Chains A and B, each alone.
Chain A
Amino acid sequence: MNEAAFYPVLSEVFRDVFMRDVALRPDLTAKDVPGWDSFKQIEIIVALEERYRIKFHTRELDALHNVGDLARALAGKTQP
């Protein structure tokens, strides 16, 4: 597990989706970031799925509560 290594990629994806830099940390949640609604959530997920050619499990997506969960889910599936 190498969650930390995914943060640079996550930062780029967040920058593409929100069109500004978002300072990511493991406990950052959607309500901390203006504009992070359910649509943006899907954009982030699909962007990561396309980038790594992976597919998140519906159960995994239901269990995402913060950026740390997202990094952990990625690390469980692929390499940075």
Chain B
Amino acid sequence: MTALYWLPALPDWRARLRAIPDDADEAWRQGVALANTRLDFVATNALDAVLRRATAAATPAGVPGKPIRLALLGSCTLAHLHAGLRVAALRRGLHATLYESEFGQYWQDLSDPGSALHAFRPSAVLLALDAHHLAAGISAADPPAAVAARLAETLSRIGECWRMARAAFGCQVIQSVPLPLHPPLLGHNESRLPGSRAAFIAALSAEIRPMAEAEGVDVLALDARAAVDGLAAWHDPGLWHRAKQEVAPAAAPLYGDLVLRLIASRQGRSAKCLVLDLDNTLWGGVIGDDGLEGLVLGQGSALGEAYLAFQDYARELSRRGIILAVCSKNDEANALAPFDRHPEMLLRRADIACFVANWSDKATNLRTIAAELNIGLDSLVFVDDNPFERNLVRQELPMVAVPEVTDDPALFARTLADAGYFESLAVTEDDRARTAQYQGNRAREALRATATDLPSYLRGLAMRLLWRRFDRIGLARTVQLINKTNQFNLTTRRYGEDDVLAIIADDRAVGLQLRLLDRFGDNGIIAILIGRMRDGCDLLIDTWLMSCRVLGRQVELASLALIAAEARRLGATRLIGEYVPTAKNSMVKDHYEKLGFTPLAGADTAEVRRYVLDLAGFAPAETFIDVTEG
């Protein structure tokens, strides 16, 4: 089954679709809302057609980020998947334009610089080679050595496609893992027959994963989805013969969502925080009424074990970098009691970065959580067993993801996983340490409450800033920060590993990674700066971004001193700063003026504002941060 069942059903979708006006902006707004409901493939196609008509003449205003230009390079029919892809972008408030190679022409399209693909300038390339194409000509009669050679040749050809795409477009490359659609010849031990097409596709699918990781290519794991949903939900052999559709049309909305998860994740748009209700979500029963001993939780009952299993899933998510928060209508003392005293609880107070239990409405409390954690509301996923609360939050805060869970806790984890809110492409050491970092934040807050003034608070933190130029060790974290930081980000330019490696190799450019430590712990890499020499005397600050966790701690001043020193080392006499406004980065709109830069006369455009700092008259400000290279 491939329905987007975590989205709320909308029985009157036909009326809502008909009500969409011609005005591009309003059509877009209503379209985003509709795309966030459970539409099947017919409704998805209809919504796509209405939106394309309404926005054909004018691009809607207020669409965040760069438009997505997705190129589909395939070996079979993909046209029936376009609507699902565009609507999945719409679901995220993103605008997508698609290009599809002519049937089976992907190699020529990639290798010919004059091709339509090159003219399209994709921002993402999806290589979707179907299993029939990949295993064509393989036969059980083939000697094993010939099959092995074919496998190596196929993998090398795929790798060549990736490299051509990277070299030509420098963009995200997504490799679809083929659906395992060949019927087996042996059975369970199919891999003992190398010339079996099923075994060939299985071997290819296994080898393509480490290869993709090594090449920085993202995998679209259709085989894993087929294992979850059943192959029949994804592939219809009759439709293959009729229309060469590898992916069944009914699965198109989910296919689109899976692809857009990968693209959104590269843009830093995956959710960051799981917010949990308590009563009948983390445990059975109502703590305020039933008391500790009345809760259904833990071994001994199937229901109790189901709640435990959900806690375990949440804790595993937090261990790989998802922040956990609690949002509950309860007296705080009651809400905390199970965390502190219930012997079966897996989640402990220390696992929860932000704990809000009171009698205010949940929308207000979710705002509080986002503000305390310094993340956007659209980074939150809120799980609540109560349909009333879910609907209230959806209505008040449409940007918060609220999965439509049933009241059976046994299904909570599966629902969260199927919805793919937390799609991530890599896990860094900082991800693993995240909850500890937020815990440290709470200790810092406690110190702030006791310190009588800001200077004594900052002095008491005993901060140390360790700076390094970009290097391969920090590469994954550098790229992750560049791609996910939205708020404290002056230019929101997104760079991949290739771009960062190019900066390392360029002696007229400098990239800095800054780590902040204090008496409460290691905050990890918290800021990235990239400077590029221009006209021999200017260092252009191409990128300046910082984690909001360390706001208000003079890191900006220390960073300026560092980039100024690097500018002088490269022979610059001026620093040029740029501010590119986006929907999310207004917090830094006065950043350069606060640091003593002056607007660069005549250099502003609608998209970018420029500022200058003369290095001759610049002296670094005193801070409470001890700065060292290391």
Contacts and interface: CB of A to CB of B under 8 A. Distances in A.
Nearest to B45: A43
A11 to B, nearest CB: 13
B79 A16 contact: no
A11 B228 CA distance: 34
A47 interface: yes
A49 B361 CA distance: 43
A13 B79 CA distance: 21
Nearest to A57: B238
Given A16-B14, A19-B49, A61-B238, A42 B42 contact: no
B38 to A, nearest CB: 13
A39 B242 contact: no
Contact of A39 (B49, B80, B250): B80
Chain B interface size range? 20 to 34
Interface in B235-266: 238-239, 241-243, 245, 248-250
B248 A46 contact: yes
Contact of A16 (B46, B239, B249, B250): B46
Contact of A46 (B14, B46, B249): B249
A50 interface: yes
B250 A50 contact: yes
B79 A39 contact: yes
B40 A42 contact: no
Contacts of A17: 42, 45-46
Mostly, the A contact residues are helix
B250 A19 contact: no
Contacts of A39: 79-80, 243
Contacts of B242: 38, 42, 58, 61
A57 to B, nearest CB: 8
A72 B14 CA distance: 27
A47 B46 CA distance: 13
B403 to A, nearest CB: 23
B238 A47 contact: no
Contacts of B248: 46
Given A16-B14, A38-B243, A39-B243, A50 B80 contact: no
Nearest to B80: A39
Contacts of B467: none
B43 interface: yes
B228 to A, nearest CB: 19
B41 interface: yes
Interface string A29-53: 0000000001100110011011000
Given A19-B49, A58-B238, A42 B243 contact: yes
Interface residues of A, number: 15
Interface in B172-223: none
Nearest to B249: A46
A39 B83 CA distance: 13
B88 to A, nearest CB: 18
A43 B243 CA distance: 12
A58 B484 CA distance: 48
Interface string B47-73: 001100000000000000000000000
A16 B243 contact: no
Contacts of B243: 38-39, 42
Contacts of A47: 41-42
Contacts of A46: 41, 239, 248-250
Interface core residue of A43, A46, A61 (most chain B CB under 10 Å): A46
A53 to B, nearest CB: 11
Interface string B25-43: 0000000000000001111
A43 B49 contact: no
Nearest to B248: A46
A61 B236 CA distance: 14
A56 B237 CA distance: 12
Contacts of A38: 242-243
A58 B237 CA distance: 10
Contacts of A50: 40, 250
Interface in B3-29: 14
A40 to B, nearest CB: 9
Contacts of B14: 16
Nearest to A16: B42
B12 to A, nearest CB: 13
Contacts of A56: 238
Nearest to A49: B250
A64 B349 CA distance: 64
A39 B46 CA distance: 14
Contact of B46 (A19, A58, A61): A19
Nearest to A56: B238
B254 to A, nearest CB: 13
Nearest to A58: B238
Given A16-B14, A16-B46, A47-B42, A42 B250 contact: no
Interface of A: 13, 16-17, 19, 38-39, 42-43, 46-47, 49-50, 56, 58, 61
Shortest Cβ-Cβ A-B pairs, 9 listed? A16-B42, A58-B238, A47-B42, A46-B249, A46-B250, A19-B46, A50-B250, A42-B243, A19-B49
19 contacts: A16-B42, A16-B43, A17-B45, A19-B50, A39-B79, A39-B243, A42-B80, A42-B245, A43-B42, A43-B249, A46-B41, A46-B239, A47-B41, A50-B40, A50-B250, A56-B238, A58-B238, A58-B242, A61-B238
Given A42-B80, A42-B242, A58-B241, 15 more contacts: A16-B14, A16-B42, A16-B46, A17-B42, A19-B49, A39-B79, A39-B80, A42-B243, A43-B42, A43-B45, A46-B239, A46-B250, A56-B238, A61-B238, A61-B242
